[in-house]
Amino acid sequence: MTNKLLAALLLLQLGGCATVKTLDANKPGAPLIYAGTRLDWYALHGGCCPEDHFGTEPPTYPGVDLPGSALLDTLLLPFSIAAELGIGLQVWGGN
């Protein structure tokens, strides 16, 4: 039963993670720190016009997405703070 519940929750997440959506939106003036969590919270409380505030629409099920977005936003917090302060980390991948 637990595996079925986990599989169902993972399928629901395919609708989009709010944190990933806000990172990909690249909207000037949009919040950076805990942006995905804030987008989920905004949607849960009936906020108007999320694209105007966050640059993207919230996930289909923001209540289900909220814990995952909060965790991912926490992991990305140092990078969000650096970006908010205008510090370029100049990070590249590959060889």
Closest CA to 57 of 26, 25, 33, 30: 25
pLDDT digits (tens, 9 = 90+) for 22-47: 887 878 888 999 999 999 999 999 98
pTM (predicted TM-score): 0.76
Asked if 58 and 47 count as a contact pair (C-beta separation under 8 A), the reply is: no
Residues of the chain with confidence (pLDDT) below 50 = none
